[in-house]
Structure 1
Amino acid sequence: MELMTQLRADQTLIEKALADYAAQWPSYGALKDAMSYSLLSGGKRIRPALTLAVCRLFGGREEDALPFACGLEMVHTYSLIHDDLPCMDDDDFRRGQPTNHKVYGEANAVLAGDGLLTAAFATLAKAPLPPERICRGIATLAQAAGPHGMVGGQVLDLLGEGQSLTEEEITTIEALKTGCMIEAAARLGAIAANSTPEEEAAAAAYARKLGLAFQIQDDLLDVVGSEAEFGKPIGSDAAKEKSTFVVLKGVEACQAWVNTLTEEAIACLLPFSGSDYLCGLARFLAGRTK
């Protein structure tokens, strides 16, 4: 299937499933509305789409991987809500819309994030898979989202503001803050498909390269992107005095690095029949403008 056709099909499947999960949440005050506001606000859905694609690659069924994909997206959304808070990045817009705390207030935004985080693991627990695979999926997501992954990366990111960081330090931050969740997306798909250890390792290697390329492209878009397409103000990294790959290496070098990482990611999957979609997805993300 052609790349964009498959991606749109995956996005449609994910959007419907997320809306179905959200419909089951209780309406305590503004909680359900606040959780749904951010979860159902659109976005590329690249992480959950990656979970579905890896599952298909290794012979699994989409319906088996879908709860894993949706739970992952709930965790990702919680992290965006909390990242936007005044005590963190203090952002007013996300995906072209006011951020959660601007609409529902800071307390409700914190609780909406908390709600999504915990709902995510309940979602994984209900996957139509053997208990052993469900446990592996939950452990994989918890490892990626917690102090060994995304949360740890966010702490280092905050500590790095106003500092001149080395390439190694920036890479560590981005590997934890962004890369771990993208790798988890691939691993979850492999787990859902009951893939071999070698298959899961190849998918994880692909995702690590993809995740670094994705973050470098984000850094580039914060410098040379269009605010209308990017969905948030351009230049926010510079305003917060953050060390980024673009600050360290410059625009042209970073563009070349994205292309190199993309080809390295693709090479990880070339031995597997049916990897064309994931290879095409890597190239698509390398050229994204939002």
Structure 2
Amino acid sequence: MDFISELKEKSKYIDLKLEEYMPKETGYQKTVFEAMNYSLRAGGKRLRPVLLMESYRLCGGKDEAFIPFSIAIEMIHTYSLIHDDLPAIDNDDLRRGKATNHKVFGEAMSILAGDALLSHSFEIMLGESIVSKYPNRGLNASYEISKGAGIYGMIAGQVVDVESEGEHIDREKLDFIHMNKTAKMIIASMRAGAMLAGAEADKLDAVSVYGERIGLAFQIVDDILDVVGDEKTLGKHVGSDIENEKSTYPAIFGIDKSWEIARKLISQAKEKLDIFDSEDSLFLSNLSDYIINREY
């Protein structure tokens, strides 16, 4: 099976499991359930839950104990997209080829849908940890995901990103934004999966660095695609970084240098996989290449 087909199969598997955790659209509060499910069903690469799953298996996990945590991390990612698209932040009308959440449900309900996805994700993770055979593993994984999403992770990056609009910032500040806004949740995906599997310290370190490098590369490629990408292929508006006067790698270094930096990060990520059996780590190695070669 080629890599793209394998990635689609893994994403489809996550989609099927995600349906099992979506709230039923009933009750007085059903509108917020509809808004939550609308964005969860909008598709996407399911990169973070797939990374958590692969890290779990790479570090020796044999069962499906990772599933609630993969679902939770996708809910957190989806909440962040709903809020990013709001008029007060990026003011986007299109996400994954569909109208953004606030365009369908209104701003108030979109804010509440994001809040609901975030809080429900922790309900899922902690509920699973309480009944788990290895509760400490679940608690440690939940803690890693909490940090990745919190004020020293994704939120930190989003705050500085918003405050830096219209400014010409240096690379240090831009790297802070990219590391926190994007890479921290990818690192958390890798670390959480490894922790759930009871990984040794050297393997936990390896997957952590792998996650950091591909997370930064992923965001740099995102910056590039916002300049040169095809709107129909991407499923979202192109040029929003320029419209919002955001500093990006292409804005600071140009397209060619940005590609060079991203490729170096991918090379460093793949080197960290050398600690694992090459057959076991093949998917993650191929995923690294996919990140640098993707068109959406």
Q: Which residue of 2 aligns with 1:84?
A: 85
Give yes or no for the alignment of 1:205 onto 2:206. no
C-alpha distance in structure 1 between counterparts of 2:179 and 2:133, whole Å? 29
Alignment equivalent of 1:170, drawn from 169, 174, 185: 174
Alignment equivalent of 1:139, drawn from 121, 143, 156: 143
Q: 1:11: Cα distance to partner?
A: 0.9
List per-residue Cα deviations over 1:94-144 (Å, max 9, x = no partner): 111110000000110011001100110111123345111111111111111
Q: Match of 2:91, SS? A: coil
Instruction: Give yes or no for contact 2:25–2:34 (8 Å, CA) kept in 1.
Output: no
Q: Which residue of 2 aligns with 1:48?
A: 49
Instruction: Give yes or no for contact 1:55–1:62 (8 Å, CA) kept in 2.
Output: no
C-alpha distance in structure 2 between counterparts of 1:138 and 1:262, whole Å? 27
Instruction: Give yes or no for contact 2:83–2:110 (8 Å, CA) kept in 1.
Output: yes
Instruction: Give yes or no for contact 1:182–1:207 (8 Å, CA) kept in 2.
Output: yes
Instruction: Give the residue type in structure 1 aligned to 2:76.
Output: V
TM-score where L is the length of structure 2: 0.95
Alignment equivalent of 1:238, drawn from 219, 235, 242: 242
Q: Which residue of 1 aligns with 2:40?
A: 39
Q: 1:29: Cα distance to partner?
A: 3.8
TM-score where L is the length of structure 1: 0.97
Instruction: Give yes or no for contact 1:10–1:52 (8 Å, CA) kept in 2.
Output: no
Q: Match of 1:64, SS? A: coil
C-alpha distance in structure 1 between counterparts of 2:88 and 2:212, whole Å? 29
User: 1:21-170 maps to which residues of 2 (within 5 A)?
Assistant: 21-24=21-24, 26-27=26-27, 28-127=29-128, 128-170=132-174
List per-residue Cα deviations over 1:145-182 (Å, max 9, x = no partner): 01010111111001100001001110001101101001
Instruction: Give the residue type in structure 1 aligned to 2:282.
Output: D
Q: 1:61: Cα distance to partner?
A: 2.7
| Percent identical residues | 40
Instruction: Give the residue type in structure 1 aligned to 2:16.
Output: K
Instruction: Give yes or no for contact 2:25–2:31 (8 Å, CA) kept in 1.
Output: no
Instruction: Give the residue type in structure 2 aligned to 1:126.
Output: G
The alpha-carbon distance between structure 1 residues 41 and 129, as it changes in their structure 2 partners (threshold 3 A), is farther
C-alpha distance in structure 2 between counterparts of 1:82 and 1:24, whole Å? 22
Instruction: Give the residue type in structure 2 aligned to 1:120.
Output: S
Q: Which residue of 2 aligns with 1:20?
A: 20
C-alpha distance in structure 1 between counterparts of 2:185 and 2:42, whole Å? 20
Q: 1:6: Cα distance to partner?
A: 2.9
Alignment equivalent of 1:283, drawn from 281, 285, 289: 289
Give yes or no for the alignment of 1:250 onto 2:254. yes
Q: Which residue of 1 aligns with 2:9?
A: 9
Alignment equivalent of 2:272, drawn from 261, 268, 271: 268
Instruction: Give yes or no for contact 2:206–2:275 (8 Å, CA) kept in 1.
Output: no
Q: Which residue of 2 aligns with 1:184?
A: 188
C-alpha distance in structure 1 between counterparts of 2:84 and 2:5, whole Å? 32
Q: 1:84: Cα distance to partner?
A: 0.7
Instruction: Report the count of equivalent residues.
Output: 290
Instruction: Give yes or no for contact 1:52–1:62 (8 Å, CA) kept in 2.
Output: no
Residue ranges of structure 1 left out of the alignment (5+ in a row) = none
The Cα RMSD (Å) is 1.3
Instruction: Give the residue type in structure 1 aligned to 2:254.
Output: G
C-alpha distance in structure 2 between counterparts of 1:156 and 1:61, whole Å? 40
List per-residue Cα deviations over 1:19-74 (Å, max 9, x = no partner): 11114465414111100000111000011100111111111035111111110000
The alpha-carbon distance between structure 1 residues 260 and 37, as it changes in their structure 2 partners (threshold 3 A), is same
Q: 1:285: Cα distance to partner?
A: 1.2
C-alpha distance in structure 1 between counterparts of 2:2 and 2:70, whole Å? 21
Give yes or no for the alignment of 1:227 onto 2:228. no
